[in-house]
């Protein structure tokens, strides 16, 4: 699979790489960035001047509409290097489709598919030394688009900037996660922008997540905004529940993000013959399953963490400890996904994309 069909990006290479200034054994997620970045501007009704240049600051008007009305969407992707030095992306076509879906919801022009893939190829090829082999190592990619037109009138921008940044990464979470089920705050609502990777979705999560951390939890499992009866997402991830041998996850909707890792876990479960139900999940049934011992696992699924097991959850005044996940579904799915991503196993799904 190769989606590059054009050759229109100008490349300005850095004089001296800063890679030697980075300690790849002590990376903080999203702190260090590779030598180059991609940018392209939407002006006069079309995307133009696609450029790869050294990573550095931007100059924007303080009246740029992104600062005032939050017109911004993004994606999260990773590049992986196998033991032979080959570099791969994981299902990048899904990220390309989703950033445009998010853009449409935020009244932002869609970005051309061919240019998106050309940018990925050229940018990653320039900075492939920033991708280290080995389990857990990757290069995190952050495509995003923001409104850049100067003006504070409450209307969509006429100008935008599309960019791709790259950051070397290790494991996002190093251990199991303790979560609390939301009783008051919600991530999104019916008819809202929960299905889009809109920047404001994540900013609005920080305050209730801080409250959870004060109580000893790392993340929040969000519930529906109407009655807080249904479980939806966990922190910045989709969430799965295992009751006995059945895997359960909420259906996507205009409140829930259509996660790439989520749909990959579902496909793996179906291939393995693991019973899976995609349906609304009641808080009450998960609490009851925890009490009677049939709740075997909860885990989050997302690009940054891949699979993140939950060791305990809190609800109201109670905390429910979960069994060890060693050898469980979360372990199985994480290994299967990472074996595909790092080119250690056959990719029967066609998810691996070589750069």
Q: Which of 307, 355, 303 is nearest to 328 (CA)?
A: 307
Beta bridge partners of 180: 220, 314
Q: Give the pLDDT mean for 140-154.
A: 97
Q: What's the confidence (pLDDT) of residue 3?
A: 61
Residue 5 has a pLDDT of 55
Q: What is the mean pLDDT of residues 64-76?
A: 97
Report whether pLDDT(168) > 90.
yes
Q: What is the mean pLDDT of residues 180-186?
A: 94
d(CA 28, CA 304) in angstroms, rounded, equals 12
Residue with token string 């790489």: 17
* Averaged pLDDT score across all residues of the chain: 94
Taking the C-alpha atoms of residue 337 and residue 292, their distance in angstroms, rounded to an integer, is 31
CA 56 remoteness from chain centre: 23
Q: Residue 250, CB half-sphere, CA atoms under 13 Å: how many? A: 31
- Which domains are present in the chain? 10-170 (3.30.470.10), 177-341 (3.20.10.10)
**pTM of the predicted model as reported, rounded to 2 decimal places:** 0.94
Helices marked H in the chain — which ranges? 65-69, 92-105, 113-126, 199-203, 206-214, 260-272, 283-292, 329-341
Which of 173, 127, 105, 118 lies closest to 35, judged by CA? 127
- At 282 the pLDDT is 98
Where residue 235 falls among pLDDT bands split at 50, 70, 90? confident
CA distances from 44 to 9, 47, 106, 149 (A): 19, 8, 19, 11
Q: What is the pLDDT of residue 259?
A: 94
Q: How does 66-82 read in b/e, with b if 16+ C-beta sit within 10 Å?
A: bbebbbbbbbbbbbbbb
At 4 the pLDDT is 54
* SS percent in the chain: helix, strand, coil, step 5: 25, 30, 45
Backbone φ and ψ of 99, nearest 5°: -65, -30
Compute, in degrees rounded to 10, the torsion defined by CA atoms 107, 113, 116, 119: -150
* Cα distance between residue 159 and residue 140, in whole Å: 27
Percent of the chain at pLDDT above 90?
Answer: 89
Model confidence at 325, pLDDT cuts 50, 70, 90, reads confident
| 241 contacts 247 by C-beta, under 8 angstroms | yes
Q: Would you call 220 helix, strand, or coil by DSSP?
A: strand
Q: Residue 141's beta-bridge partner residues?
A: 77, 166
């Amino acid at each position: 699979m190769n989606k590059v069909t054009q050759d229109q990006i100008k490349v300005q290479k850095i004089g001296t790489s800063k890679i030697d200034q980075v300690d790849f054994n002590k990376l903080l997620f999203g702190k260090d960035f590779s030598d180059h970045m991609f940018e392209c501007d939407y002006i006069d009704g079309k995307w133009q001047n696609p450029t790869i240049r050294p990573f550095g600051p931007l100059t924007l008007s303080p009246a740029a509409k992104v600062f005032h009305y939050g017109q911004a969407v993004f994606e999260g992707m990773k590049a992986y290097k196998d033991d032979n030095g080959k570099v791969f992306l994981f299902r990048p076509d899904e990220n390309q489709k989703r950033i445009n879906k998010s853009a449409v919801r935020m009244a932002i022009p869609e970005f051309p598919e061919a240019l998106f893939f050309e940018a990925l190829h050229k940018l990653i090829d320039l900075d492939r030394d920033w991708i280290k082999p080995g389990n857990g190592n990757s290069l995190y990619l952050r495509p995003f688009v923001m409104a850049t037109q100067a003006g504070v009138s409450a209307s969509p921008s006429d100008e935008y900037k599309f960019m791709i940044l790259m950051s070397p990464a290790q494991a996002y979470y190093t251990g199991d996660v303790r979560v609390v089920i939301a009783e008051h705050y919600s991530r999104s609502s019916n008819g809202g922008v929960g299905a889009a990777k809109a920047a404001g979705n994540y900013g609005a999560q920080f305050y209730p997540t801080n409250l959870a951390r004060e109580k000893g939890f790392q993340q929040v499992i969000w519930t529906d905004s109407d009655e807080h009866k249904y479980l939806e997402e966990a922190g910045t991830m989709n969430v799965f529940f295992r009751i006995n041998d059945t895997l359960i996850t909420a259906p996507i909707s205009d409140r829930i993000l259509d996660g790439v890792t989520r749909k990959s876990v579902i496909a793996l479960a179906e291939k393995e013959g693991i019973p899976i139900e995609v349906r609304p999940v009641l808080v009450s049934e998960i609490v009851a399953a925890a009490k009677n011992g049939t709740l075997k696992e909860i885990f989050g699924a997302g690009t940054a963490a891949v699979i993140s097991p939950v060791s305990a959850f809190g609800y109201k005044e109670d905390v429910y400890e979960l069994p060890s996940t060693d050898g469980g579904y979360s372990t199985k799915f994480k290994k299967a996904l990472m074996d595909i991503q790092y080119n250690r196993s056959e990719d029967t799904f066609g998810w691996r994309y070589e750069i």
